[in-house]
Structure 1
Amino acid sequence: MTTQTPQAHILSQRVVELHESQTLEMAAKARQLKAQGFDVINLTLGEPDFNTPEYIKEAAKKAIDENFSFYTPVPAILELREAIAAKLRRDNQLDVKAENIVVSTGAKQSLINTILALINPGDEVIVFAPYWVSYIPMIQLAQGKAVIVEGKIENGFKVNPQDLQNAITPKTKAVIYSSPSNPTGTVYSKEELKAFADILAPYENIYIIADEIYEYITFERNYWSIGAFENVKNRTITVNGFSKSFAMTGWRVGYIAAPKVIADACTKIQGQFTSATCSIAQKAALAAITGDISFTQEMKKAYLRRRDLVLDLLKDTPTIKTYVPQGAFYLFPDVSYYFGKSDGKTTIRNAYDLCMYLLNEAYVALVDGEGFGAKNCIRISFAAADEKLVEGVKRMKEALNRLK
């Protein structure tokens, strides 16, 4: 007679210790309730609610009709890499060529490729918090150690340069941040990035991973890339993609611009994992990056209007501590006022409890801040129609008012 092996003994330790993405977890819970017939307003996922522009879809259809359906070079077709490099030279002042570009199956793969290419067991990676939920698990998969440097809500969640300086040790191998930030919408200015660059420049073994996936969704200032600074350009990996800027989340196309030695390493890794991303999606991405970006500008206007709408709807609720996001499509308020409060049935101990309470009582799906490195906060995505935002905030306020 054999006994069943416990799950922990079947699976590798890296999988056992790996957490599910909190954003995907809450989205799944929202879908379950919706499938049961409840009118759930889902404000969890970081996904544009716009359709991919027609000219991009037409390029994909043309590629299919022309049988562009065979393997391509692992880092992508040359035309796409050249177009991305041209965009980065023109718009971001990055000194790159096609050989510095690796296109992957989404910016998420671009990030894990980069982290696996750089990080050895025991290496430290400084992470600006609040951070995107997948940074820490990716570092863990590479057997590195995440060192958290926190930005406070009072400062728009921006990291203080001195705190970055204080976090550097002989084991520091990389620094990773996003601007605009997921989950906060924080955007670092040219002057702020220069302060970081000047701190990191003397450390020749420290690399910068700049996640710029929300680049086109900035509201209040010109965008700047840290890789444009001469003193760190040879140690900066810029990560970007097409999901947010061109409403192409399901197409799964992301890319890095990196020093050639790192680009070659990422190509080597990708060659063993997935090889090149979808050939049809590459042609769609080529059309996107060489085409008219007026669609993107219209999306940005809609997000700005929605940001202001949500802030206005919440302004009479001082128990929700807010700030003004400068980019992306998220608000990340502090909701710690409600910890310890109860409606007589449910007691709120933390942000996760509050999100579950709002899901079950108001049918509004949000994401708690624990996985983003900010346990007092929740993430509200305003990538949703105006009427859903109005109704969602109305339901939230009614449910919150029952907590005493």
Structure 2
Amino acid sequence: MNNNLQQLNESATVKLADEVRRRKGLGVNVIELQTGDPDFNTPKQVTDACLEAIAQVEMAARPGGGHIFGFIVEAVSGISMPVALVKILCGEQPDIIPKYNHGSTYRFFAPPQGIFKRVDNLKEAGNIDGVLELGFDMQPGTVVNAIAGDADRPGYMVTKAEDRNASIAVSDKVLQTLQFIMD
């Protein structure tokens, strides 16, 4: 039996607890979780849900370019950059091999010049197949002039399709669906 005991590895939980104590001793602020050794493997749907929740956490270390990082890279390649970043921050190696090569469009838009009253069909446009996100924010009565800068573009869309041209066609369909009512 002595040989069998010598072949046992230290529990991952014990290793983690030792590391927490060591870091606390160095004055590092540590989030400590009380854990025990599992009696069974965690079901895949639970671990997937946990990874998804972690990916949605706002982190100070997250890069900019929200739509590019959060939507477009995954739409064109199948790689979830938020999940990859969490894995990197946890010291893991992310899988960054593209799963496919699709097209995506990130397009800004604004109503025509005049006094904005409303936009019709916004919900319908957002439900067009291939629209990942559609946003528009303008108050009735806003005077719309020629676009002079970023703040003059109150609308945007992120679309995806099998290739770039098909994605552009989706964004064109969105613009054709929207009806700007102006004075």
- TM-score with structure 1 length normalisation? 0.14
Q: Which has the larger radius of gyration?
A: 2
- TM-score with structure 2 length normalisation? 0.27
Choose between structure 1 and 2: higher strand proportion: 2
